[in-house]
Amino acid sequence: MAKKYIVDLTSAEREELLTLIDQGEVSARKIKRAHMLLLADEGRKDVEIVTAFERTRQRFVLEGLRAALNERRRPGAKCKLDAKAAIPGLEK
């Protein structure tokens, strides 16, 4: 079966991912995603990469590097502060 999403990183994207991994100051999830994209770019088989990361590959191909590395907002939780509490002096 042919791969649906083929990752083909530019040299700049590859360098950005390697730098991100070396920094060590980003979330573990982001580092995992960076590793997965690098493995996919090397042509590794899906079973080697783990199918759980298919969404990250899909987001890279459809939306680019930033979307693949960063999590989307998760709607549903109510705001903990309203405008009055968030901005002092607004209650006037």
pLDDT at 17: 94
Q: Which H helix or E strand runs over 66? A: helix 65-69
Q: Could you tell me the pTM of the whole model?
A: 0.56
Do the beta carbons of residue 84 and residue 90 sit within 8 Å?
yes
59-70 mean pLDDT: 87
pLDDT digits (tens, 9 = 90+) for 8-27: 999 999 999 999 999 878 88
pLDDT-derived band at 90 (thresholds 50, 70, 90) equals low
83: exposed, middle or buried (C-beta count within 10 Å: 0-12, 13-18, 19+)? exposed
pLDDT digits (tens, 9 = 90+) for 33-64: 898 899 899 988 878 777 657 777 788 899 99
Q: Is residue 91 scored above 80 in pLDDT?
A: no
- Residue 54 structure tokens: 């298919």
| Cα 33 to Cα 26: distance, rounded to the nearest angstrom | 11
Domain borders along the chain are: 11-69
pLDDT at 24: 74
Q: Which of 1, 9, 3, 5 is nearest to 59 (CA)?
A: 5
